[in-house]
């Protein structure tokens, strides 16, 4: 196999933690909080990358990088919702679109809080139910909800609706909810609709059923990444990798625009690497989804699981001569490593989080 790209879509580090990590690296005396997070779980693959891999900042985020790596540079400048709406493009011509991500928010004394478990992935039937119910409740608003297969939805609106400047939910750990609300042209209408959606969801029967089975309630649909649907015909690219794994809506949209489909994440990533005729592969994972599956896990536990399932097996294949290059995209950083890079022994050891900072 030539190349593997692993994307961790929501591994963004809070500014306070990043500052403490950088200070610890300079002083070589980590704080107790940094030490506890860094050593809570074994992440040998991430530590190997932190020491030996080349690293560069992704100023545009991971999505344009992935589009270009796939040979689909024509979509690198498209808004996330424009690409994510590709499976629905035929029905959304001349409409504005946003990704509508279900959120569970924690009520505090005076405000709502967002944490790493707040991003929800609904069952397909729940998405369909919300879309039908939204149509019944908001039929005269000019907006509509459309379910996607991965548990998120697309909101469409009138063609003249100008996309506002919005914040990706995974990046809300870096700011308050109030600071992450839409701004710019069209923001007022989008904020008003978001508030009406929150009131609609508060008494929705779906939330009552979720509460009965102990599932987190849906407090909001976070609207972000707005644009116009990417309506270009499917493209055939000789550089398109053999397969993409995971449930991210942007990656699914890219594959649909290229005339293909993504696959579920395999149980045995190592077996995939040795598969016949596999040359390039992309794997996408989300911290929030792992934390919802394992209620007792911390961020460090989720990172250890990604290391165990994806990163360490890929490094083993790299050092065994079965893989030429490994890429990791996380926290707006791009790590790149080849087998020979492990001989850069002059590089000092770093913790995984120190490398991500």
Same domain, 89 and 217: yes
Banded model confidence at residue 132, pLDDT cuts 50, 70, 90? very high
Output the pLDDT for position 109: 57
Residue 40 has pLDDT above 80, yes or no: no
Query: How do residues 57-102 score in pLDDT, each as one tens digit?
Result: 999 999 999 999 988 899 999 999 999 998 887 778 788 999 999 9
The answer on 153 and 284 residing in a single domain is no
- In this predicted structure, the answer to whether residue 28 has a pLDDT above a threshold of 60 is no
- Residues in Cβ contact with 19 at an 8 Å cutoff, skipping those fewer than 6 apart: none
Out of 7-16, 76-85, 302-311, pick the least confident: 7-16
In terms of residue numbers, what domain contains 8? 3-76+233-356
Residue 274 has a pLDDT of 72
Instruction: Please state the rounded mean pLDDT for residues 108-129.
Output: 85
Position 234 pLDDT exceeds 90: no
Q: Are residues 192 and 259 in the same domain?
A: no
- Same domain for 86 and 222? yes
Name the pLDDT band for 23 (thresholds 50, 70, 90): low
118 band by pLDDT with thresholds 50, 70 and 90: very high
pLDDT at 35 > cutoff 60: no
Which pTM was predicted? 0.89
Is 244 found in the same domain as 214? no
d(CA 80, CA 98): 8
At 31 the pLDDT is 47
Q: What is the mean pLDDT of residues 114-122?
A: 90
pLDDT the model gives residue 32: 47
201 lies in the same domain as 321? no
Calpha distance 152→127 (Å, rounded) = 7
Q: Clarify whether residues 292 and 172 are in a common domain.
A: no
- State the total domains in the chain: 2
Domain's final residue, options 199, 227, 255: 227
Q: What is the pLDDT of residues 146-165, one digit of tens each?
A: 999 888 899 999 886 666 88
Query: What is residue 20's predicted lDDT score, i.e. its pLDDT?
Result: 52
Q: What is the mean pLDDT of the chain?
A: 86
Percent of the chain whose predicted confidence (pLDDT) is above 90: 55
Q: What is the pLDDT of residue 111?
A: 67
Residues 6+ apart with CB under 8 A from 25: 350, 354, 357
| Contact of 336 with 324, CB cutoff 8 Å | no
Listed residues 207, 227, 247: the one ending a domain: 227
**Could you read off the pLDDT of 239-254 as tens digits, one per residue?**
445 788 998 999 999 9
Q: Please tell me the predicted confidence (pLDDT) of residue 239.
A: 47
User: Do 47 and 112 fall within a single domain?
Assistant: no
Q: How confident is the model at residue 114 (pLDDT cuts 50, 70, 90)?
A: confident
pLDDT tens digits along 173-218: 867 788 888 888 888 889 999 999 999 999 999 999 999 999 999 9
Query: Residues 268, 326: one domain?
Result: yes
Instruction: Output the pLDDT for position 352.
Output: 84
Instruction: Answer yes or no: do 259 and 311 share one domain.
Output: yes
- Amino acid 71: pLDDT: 86
Instruction: Name the band, by pLDDT with cuts 50, 70 and 90, for residue 33.
Output: very low
310-320: average pLDDT: 95
Q: What is the pLDDT of residue 272?
A: 83
- Do 151 and 67 lie in one domain? The reply is no
Residues 207 and 277 in one domain: no
């Amino acid at each position: 196999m030539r190349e593997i790209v692993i994307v961790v879509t929501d591994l963004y580090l809070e500014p306070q933690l990043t500052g403490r990590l950088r200070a610890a690296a300079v002083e070589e005396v980590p704080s107790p909080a940094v030490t506890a997070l860094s050593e809570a779980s074994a992440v040998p693959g991430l530590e190997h990358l932190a020491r030996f891999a080349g690293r560069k900042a992704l100023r545009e985020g991971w999505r344009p990088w992935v589009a270009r790596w796939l040979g689909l540079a024509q979509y690198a400048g498209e808004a996330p919702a424009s690409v994510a709406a590709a499976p629905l493009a035929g029905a959304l011509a001349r409409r504005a679109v946003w990704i509508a991500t279900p959120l569970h928010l924690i009520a505090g004394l005076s405000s709502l809080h967002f944490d790493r478990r707040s991003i929800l992935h609904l069952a397909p039937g729940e998405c369909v139910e919300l879309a039908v119910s939204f149509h019944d409740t908001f039929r005269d608003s000019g907006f509509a909800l459309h379910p996607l297969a991965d548990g998120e939805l697309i909101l469409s609106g009138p063609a003249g609706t100008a996309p506002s400047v919005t914040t990706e939910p995974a990046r809300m750990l870096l700011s308050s909810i109030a600071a992450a609300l839409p701004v710019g042209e069209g923001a007022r209408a989008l904020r008003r609709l978001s508030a009406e959606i929150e009131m609609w969801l508060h008494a929705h029967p779906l939330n009552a059923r979720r509460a009965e089975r102990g599932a987190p309630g849906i407090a909001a649909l976070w609207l972000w990444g707005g644009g116009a649907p990417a309506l270009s015909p499917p493209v055939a690219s000789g550089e398109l990798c053999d397969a993409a794994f995971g449930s991210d809506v942007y990656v699914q949209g890219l594959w649909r625009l290229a005339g293909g489909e993504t696959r579920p994440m395999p149980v045995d990533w190592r077996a995939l690497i040795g598969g016949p005729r596999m040359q390039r592969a992309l794997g996408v994972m989300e911290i929030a989804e792992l934390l919802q599956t394992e209620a007792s896990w911390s961020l460090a536990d989720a990172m250890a699981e990604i290391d165990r399932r994806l990163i360490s097996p890929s490094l083993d294949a790299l050092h065994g001569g079965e893989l030429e290059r490994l890429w990791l995209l996380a926290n707006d950083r791009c790590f790149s490593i080849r087998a020979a890079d492990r001989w850069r022994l002059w590089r000092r050891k770093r913790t995984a989080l120190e490398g991500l900072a």
